[in-house]
Structure 1
Amino acid sequence: MNEAMKDLIAIGTHVIIKKQNYSKVYKVTKNGNLMLGKHQKVHMNEIIGKPYWSTFEMIPNSERKTFDLRLAEKSEEIEETGSWFDLQDRLPSGPDNRFIIDDGTSQKLSKEQIIELQESGTSGKEIVGQLIENSKSFVEKTKYSQEKYIKKKQKKYFRYITVFKTSILGLHEIYFRQDHSKINNIRMDSLAQLLSYSDVQSDGLFVLYDSGSQGLPAAAMLNRIGANNTGTLINLHPGNQPQIAIVQAMNFPKEQAERLISVNVYSFLRLYYQGESSVLSECKLLNDYYINKNIISDESITVLNNTDIEKDDNNLETKSEINLLKRKNDELVNSSPIKKPKWLLETQMAINIIKESKARGLVIVAKEHPLNIINGLLPFLGFSRPFVIYHMYREPLQETYVALKQRQGVINLRLYSNFLRAYQVLPERTHPDILTNDTNGYILTGYLVE
């Protein structure tokens, strides 16, 4: 893919759709639709083949609350939305809002008239202008209340969306705003410290244990490693399937994505210490292999397992068929090779890589108690290399700190508590952000030495 094609929106990629302060992740499909909020449905086929960072105007469709997209040719159309505040500067304002009574009669335009303006294709700027002109109480509001009113109406009637490339910052903002517990309450400053303390670079091997963060740490580490180099990331997870939603949303090149190896942590440890036979002995690989190859059907396997031939003396034909199936099954078992599942091959690959060279950094993002995890994974870390443990609560890290402090070969242990406070900086109203989320977790760092 040449450089020009990389800047065009293609089917199958993930993008960030932004409408004012609202943003959402969207996977591009041929005839896909996007729900903005609960009611607005947007046909997204127009964005395919267009450059990233393009702005589109939402055109009302014949179906109610459904919109088509049209590429906005002039950026001035978007910038003109700021002229609403110029209108506010020209209108008078009141000293306070104590005499404003919300009796439902201050707006002259009825709900039906506003809907008719929307369906007729009137721009959001014109609709908000008419709402201001037909409001009895607007000139009585304070400047601050007028600004809040305009922003509220702007959010409701603004009809432009912009398509952005996905990034770690953009995806983190979306997931953290929607439900920060799904990414283990990791804030952006904590994620930056995880990358910094683990010394993630473009080469070498790095090991990550993540027990439920939608792939945010893996995506950030793989993004820091970069493309077209020798860096490798082994992503250990406790479940059957890794959580890599954010990794997939980053649209990494194939070469870069293949250097992320996701394996189950329990299978990894058992295969490393006990060998392949310990894993294969517990798997029903033979029946799965033959069923998938359509050599023996699963119904026939059920017959073989559940039918007692000796009790069926009256039906000689049934006995003959069952004996034939059993002989055929024995021949296939003795002659056909065993097909190893994909997860086993990936686990063997990860073990081979880690046997060749120890990890340059170890990151643990855990919802469970991290002590047994760090004890199990420290042997795979190289000497004089860092490890970082993130947990939502302080007490598990305190216990881990005490245990590691007594262990030989672990030095420079530090337990951090982060709190990054956002501030609203505006004329005559600068103060800490009231809606700041204080859920951030704790970080334990250290080094492994001989």
Structure 2
Amino acid sequence: MESATTESKTLSFKKTQALIERRKAVVANGVSVFVPSTAVSAKDGTILDADGNQLIDFGGGIGVLNAGHCPEPVVKAIQDQAAKLIHACFNISTYEPYLELAEKLAELIPHGKKTKVMLTNTGAESVENAIKIARQATKRSAVICFTEAFHGRSMMAMTLTSKINYKTNCGPFAPEVYRLPFPNYYHNGQGMTEDEFSAQELARMEDATHSMVDVNDVAAIILELVQGEGGFNVAPKKYIQGLREFCDKHGIMLIFDEVQSGFCRTGKWAAHEHYGVAPDISTWAKSMGSGMPIGAVIGKQEVMDAAAVGSIGGTYLGNPVCCAASLATIKYMEEIDLNAKASKVSQIVNERFQKLKKQCSAIGDVRGLGAMQAIEFVKNGDPSQPDEDTVTRLTKACLDRGVILLSAGTYKNVIRILSPLVISEELLNRGLDIIEEELIKISN
């Protein structure tokens, strides 16, 4: 199913439009539509839509499909487990798939001398539980987060999320949450080296604990090393290393949200491996289950065990079928060396984007970590003038030719690549060709 319908002409979407009209009639408007496409079936890096078009998937279900659509070992694991045990509730019955997955995660992504794990259904649940655990471990309440962050749509996760569009009229929000500027070097580091900028932003952190919140009240600092919805902004290495030192100095839990950056997306199991910095707690979901709803909180044993009995858990957490899917996903990732595939995708996309930047004046920045690659569009070469219009036109033009492309950023002026990492080089380059062709048309 690697072939795709990507001729230069606009594709037909009559049946797709009919499905979208049915959606409008019955589904709450608040469930947003990022891309007006449909899906009937999918395999590896392509989706078959309602009109029979084979679409190149550069969205990957928003970073959920690193191992591709419907990997055969995962499909079989789901079928086999569903025939044996679909649900028992881990709060009532202990079962093998949960334990096997927890053991594998602790081995794969160690936190300190001894690692413990709790499973969740989603990234937002992972974040909610990570904050609860951090507060109990420190007996403090305040949490520091960052601008341009996205951590989910449940109440604490939404409080931590920066973008206003995701939280309009949803307050009041959780108290004791304090927000600092994310260390965005492209936007705020002009005239400085990256190390100088990192030092400035770390000093800002110190200042905040004198003017914004008492450092002795801070339970946790949470951030994405590569901001997903924020536009693939990459935290500088020196900043993260300094943040680890700051947290150690003041007894603060450092939480890395790896929901979008984890499971091979950056060419490592965890984005924090690139930094040589280990968190106290980390949050996971998305690609760990190849589309099945499963997430995790992973942390140091002494931190995880600080949570009172009964304060974490839930009816569906660590569902046996989802655990089986996750175990099969991880095994498949290991067998095909998905981290190596991510590095190749990263190289191809970054090289193509860098060349495109030389041809298109609207491109302000090309950035990313591993296969999390993005382009930010600005007006007049000015980072303070976001160019949302170009991105809106580009994503529509690409879909018309059979490429699903996602926007990102506070002002929707960024395109990001989240294709399945198993995508063939031929299909990847074909999709990139279409992006290039359509962008040049728009620019001219």
Normalization by structure 1: what TM-score? 0.24
Greater Rg by CA: 1
**If the length of structure 2 is used for normalisation, what is the TM-score?**
0.24
RCO higher in 1 or 2 (8 Å CA, sep ≥ 6)? 2
